[in-house]
Amino acid sequence: DARVTQTPRDKVTEMGQEVTMRCQPILGHNTVFWYRQTMMQGLELLAYFRNRAPLDDSGMPKDRFSAEMPDATLATLKIQPSEPRDSAVYFCASGLNDRGPSLPNYNEQFFGPGTRLTVL
């Protein structure tokens, strides 16, 4: 049963500390998405990649957030320095955006369980 995995599941840290969240997409998927979910803002798209290249990170605060894909099996989201307003659940999702020249891409996304971040 292929699933997106995320680590850690829970993270409590103090303001100013660096936080790194990791995501392992489903094997064979070529798109990876990072979302943030809060009660106030709902589900927000932070950044996404296709074939490991960043396509859009306009939803991400550039001064403190960074997202990378060191290889096809790992995506990372880093916050440095962290602030209390970064407290949220961060979700990673993966999908397949290249089903072949004759098949449409539905952009279906498979979500991980999330990382609950609390910044004190």
Partner 1 sequence: AQSVTQLGSHVSVSEGALVLLRCNYSSSVPPYLFWYVQYPNQGLQLLLKYTSAATLVKGINGFEAEFKKSETSFHLTKPSAHMSDAAEYFCAVTAAGANNLFFGTGTRLTIIP
Q: What is the DSSP string of 23-41?
A: EEPPTT--EEEEEEEETTT
Burial category of 116 from C-beta neighbours within 10 Å (exposed 0-12, middle 13-18, buried 19 and up)? middle
With contacts defined by CB under 8 A, name the span among 12-20, 61-69, 80-88, 100-108 that binds partner 1: 100-108
Site membership for partner 1, residue 90 (CB under 8 A): no
Site membership for partner 1, residue 64 (CB under 8 A): no
Residue 58 CB, shortest distance to partner 1, in Å, is 11
- Expressed in percent and rounded to 5, the helix, strand and coil fractions of the chain are 0, 50, 45
With contacts defined by CB under 8 A, name the span among 20-28, 38-46, 68-76, 78-86 that binds partner 1: 38-46
Site membership for partner 1, residue 34 (CB under 8 A): no
The CB-side HSE value for 47 (13 A sphere, CA atoms) comes to: 18
The CB-side HSE value for 100 (13 A sphere, CA atoms) comes to: 2
Residue 108 CB, shortest distance to partner 1, in Å, is 6
Residues within the interface to partner 1 (CB under 8 A): 4, 31, 33, 42-43, 45, 48, 50, 55-56, 91, 93, 97, 104-114
